[in-house]
Amino acid sequence: MSFYFQNLSEAAFYSLLKKNEYGRKKLLTVKEVCAIYRISRTTLSEYRKSGKVTAIHLWGGKHIRFNEETLAREIEVLTGKTQTQTA
Helices 30-37 and 41-49 cross at an angle (nearest 10°) of 110
pTM of the model: 0.65
Q: What is the pLDDT of residues 31-72, one digit of tens each?
A: 999 998 888 999 999 999 999 999 988 877 678 999 888 898
Query: Minimal CA–CA distance to 16: which of 24, 27, 5, 7?
Result: 27
CA distance 8 to 74: 25
pLDDT at residue number 57: 85
Mean pLDDT of the chain: 76
